[in-house]
């Protein structure tokens, strides 16, 4: 398929005047599938936040030397609190959208790309037609307005494109080109904990990329290498943090909160501290844990978020603490196994993600509370709870499948239909040679347990860093595992997606719709 750099694609941006005219009028602009008006969601006139988010090609500096062509999100706040939008460093990433639970939000989404796109609110409990699903694309030059209530727990979520055309998904390509940003939800319960805030709260969006000599991004180069990349997922040879090479930040002797989002196409990180101190985890994709947990390192799969707390109050000024990640290698099961491994960064390679350089003595910063979320509610299950099994599989030469089925647009099988209000157990069965970060749209679920049934095929090195407590929308299923989650389908009926968030896997079939029936 494609493509070296984005230059060629970005160069063909032609916005027809007719489309632009249509785009100016939200109420009448219809998407290409005739799926009705391009206004979705609540319609009440009083919104606490009103903003515009535009996807467009741009040229930015990433490495030293020539700038790189990217696709990116730019946002404007029309009304609402001043801190609703803040830039995420000076890279290409979308701005940090900061919302408060209880707000009514309206966003006008504008597509200035040369192809269809959508904007998906990853992890948010929003109605199906606000969810940015591929069945509701925004055509080139068109716009769509979505409006929703912010009902989720405080936490770090994110937004990214979710288009899928007749030749497969475009999530991997568009996200790789630069379309992704963090979305934070705050609430009073979290604020009352007094966790590190302001300069003591860092948001880190991790992505791996490869560049050609002229600093153009390279994705799939064609030929055999591309075929293997599509099976394994894209792995770049360098890691970017907030769209820039890893950096050093000056810090004081006090506690810090690191909120990390893995926005990579398929790279799994093993995040650890350079001085081997344990990693203190305070939250996951669905917000704060009931209580902090410690790990030697944390395993962070694509689309997952992790909330870390680190205390530098006893670190001497002049010293530095580095957040590092280990590269990993999958099973060497003959020729196939080799292709699953991380060849871009050799096995055991340790690379920096962030350096915290302690430059000043400072007082302050509350100790970490022993209890973080007293009212953390997880779906409850018993012996009568319905169990649904999902076999994760490979379709030779055609990609991946769930229960033998590949993505077929909005077609839903009987065993993919659930009932509004029900709680179910979903069991993901991984008989493949690779881990799959499985994601369910529209809700947060709890992990009931993992059972090791078959061989982990060389991936066991990731296990000690898994954090299963708390709430999640994306969970890593290792090879040979049966992993059970509990989920409750509330408030909204209609179509949602579930899929592997290895973006090359979802783009190559490992995605399906499920239906919530009222």
* Footprint of Cu ion (CB under 5 A): 122, 436, 441, 500, 502, 505
502 interface partner picked from ligand C2O, Cu ion, none, CB below 5 to 8 A per type: Cu ion
In angstroms, give the least distance from the CB of 365 to ligand C2O: 33
Q: Which is nearer to ligand C2O, 233 or 252 (CB)?
A: 233
49 is an interface residue for ligand C2O by CB under 6 A: no
97 is an interface residue for ligand C2O by CB under 6 A: no
Give DSSP secondary structure letters for 343-397: -SS-TT-EEEEEEEEEEE-----PPPPS-S-TT-------TTSEEEEEEEEEETT
From 80-88, 136-144, 319-327, 497-505, span contacting ligand C2O (CB under 6 A): 497-505
499 interface partner picked from Cu ion, ligand C2O, none, CB below 5 to 8 A per type: ligand C2O
- Using DSSP's 3-state secondary structure scheme, residue 503 falls into helix
Residue 334 tokens read as 């003959």
120 is an interface residue for ligand C2O by CB under 6 A: yes
In angstroms, give the least distance from the CB of 291 to ligand C2O: 27
In angstroms, give the least distance from the CB of 304 to ligand C2O: 10
Cα 137 from Cα 139, distance rounded (Å): 6
Cα 229 from Cα 235, distance rounded (Å): 8
Residue 415 tokens read as 């065993």
Closest CA to 133 of 424, 441, 365, 431: 441
Beta-bridge partner residues of 40: 146
512 is an interface residue for ligand C2O by CB under 6 A: no
Sheet arrangement for strand 320-326: 248-252, 350-360, 320-326, 269-273, 298-300
Q: Given 3-state DSSP classes, what are the helix, strand and coil percentages for the chain, each rounded to the nearest 5?
A: 10, 40, 45
In angstroms, give the least distance from the CB of 401 to ligand C2O: 17
Which residue in the set 441, 456, 484, 512 belongs to the binding site for ligand C2O (CB under 6 A)? 441
In angstroms, give the least distance from the CB of 103 to Cu ion: 20
162 is an interface residue for ligand C2O by CB under 6 A: yes
303 interface partner picked from Cu ion, ligand C2O, none, CB below 5 to 8 A per type: ligand C2O
- List C-alpha distances in Å: 275 to 124, 286, 327, 356: 36, 29, 18, 12
In angstroms, give the least distance from the CB of 199 to ligand C2O: 29
Closest CA to 461 of 435, 491, 436: 435
Cβ proximity of 445 and 390 under 8 Å: no
Cβ proximity of 139 and 32 under 8 Å: yes
Residue 411 tokens read as 């077609």
Contacts of 166 (CB under 8 A, 6+ apart): none
Instruction: Sort 370 into a burial class: Cβ within 10 Å, 0-12 / 13-18 / 19+.
Output: exposed
In angstroms, give the least distance from the CB of 122 to Cu ion: 4
505 interface partner picked from ligand C2O, Cu ion, none, CB below 5 to 8 A per type: Cu ion
Which residue in the set 257, 456, 499, 512 belongs to the binding site for ligand C2O (CB under 6 A)? 499
500 interface partner picked from Cu ion, ligand C2O, none, CB below 5 to 8 A per type: Cu ion
Q: Which is nearer to ligand C2O, 108 or 160 (CB)?
A: 160
Q: Provide the 10 A C-beta neighbour count for residue 394.
A: 18
Which residue in the set 98, 122, 135, 329 belongs to the binding site for ligand C2O (CB under 6 A)? 122
From 264-272, 280-288, 312-320, 494-502, span contacting ligand C2O (CB under 6 A): 494-502
Residues that bind ligand C2O (CB under 6 A): 120, 122, 160, 162, 303, 439, 441, 497, 499, 501
């Amino acid at each position: 398929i494609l493509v070296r750099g984005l230059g060629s694609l970005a160069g063909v941006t032609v916005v027809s005047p007719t489309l632009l005219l249509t785009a100016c009028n939200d109420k009448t602009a219809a998407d290409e599938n005739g799926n009705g008006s391009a206004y979705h969601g609540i319609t009440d006139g009083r919104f606490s936040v009103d903003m515009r988010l535009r996807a467009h090609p741009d040229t930015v500096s990433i490495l030293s030397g020539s700038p790189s062509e990217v696709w990116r999100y730019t946002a404007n706040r029309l009304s609402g609190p001043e801190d609703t939008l803040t830039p995420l460093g000076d890279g290409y990433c979308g701005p940090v959208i900061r919302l408060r639970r209880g707000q009514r939000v309206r966003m006008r989404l504008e597509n200035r790309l040369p192809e269809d796109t959508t904007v998906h609110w990853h992890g948010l409990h929003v109605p199906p037609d606000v969810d940015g699903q591929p069945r509701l694309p925004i055509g080139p030059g068109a716009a769509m307005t979505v409006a929703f209530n912010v009902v989720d727990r405080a936490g770090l979520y994110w937004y990214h494109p979710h288009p899928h055309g007749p030749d497969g998904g475009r999530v991997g390509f568009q996200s790789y080109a630069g379309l992704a940003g963090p979305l934070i939800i705050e609430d009073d319960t979290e604020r009352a904990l007094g966790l590190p805030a302001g300069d003591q709260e860092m948001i880190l969006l991790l992505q791996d990329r490869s560049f050609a000599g002229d600093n153009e991004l390279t994705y799939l180069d064609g030929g055999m290498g591309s075929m293997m990349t599509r099976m394994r997922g894209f792995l770049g040879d360098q890691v970017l943090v907030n769209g820039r090479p890893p950096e050093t930040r000056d810090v004081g002797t006090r506690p810090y909160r690191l909120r990390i989002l893995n926005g990579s196409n398929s790279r799994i990180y093993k995040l650890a501290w350079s001085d081997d101190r344990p990693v203190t985890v305070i939250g996951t994709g669905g917000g704060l844990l009931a209580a902090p947990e410690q790990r030697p390192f944390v395993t962070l799969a694509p689309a997952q978020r992790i909330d870390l707390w680190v205390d530098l109050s006893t670190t001497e000024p002049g010293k530095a603490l580095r957040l590092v990640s280990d590269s990993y290698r999958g099973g060497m099961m003959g020729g196939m196994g080799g292709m699953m491994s991380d060849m871009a960064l050799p096995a055991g390679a340790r690379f920096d993600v962030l350096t915290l350089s302690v430059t000043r003595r400072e007082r302050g910063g509350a100790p970490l509370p022993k209890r973080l979320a007293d009212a953390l509610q997880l779906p409850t299950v018993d012996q009568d709870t319905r169990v649904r099994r999902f076999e994760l599989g490979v379709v030779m030469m055609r990609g991946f499948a769930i229960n033998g089925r590949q993505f077929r647009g909005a077609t839903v099988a009987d065993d993919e239909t659930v009932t509004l209000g029900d709680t179910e157990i979903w069991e993901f069965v991984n008989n493949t040679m690779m881990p799959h970060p499985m994601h369910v749209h529209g809700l947060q679920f709890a992990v009931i347990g993992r059972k090791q049934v078959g061989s982990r095929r060389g991936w066991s090195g990731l296990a000690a860093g898994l954090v299963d407590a708390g709430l999640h929308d994306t969970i890593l299923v290792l090879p040979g595992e049966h992993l059970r989650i509990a989920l409750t389908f509330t408030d909204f009926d209609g179509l949602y997606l579930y899929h592997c968030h290895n973006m090359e896997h979802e783009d190559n079939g490992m995605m399906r719709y499920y239906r919530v029936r009222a």
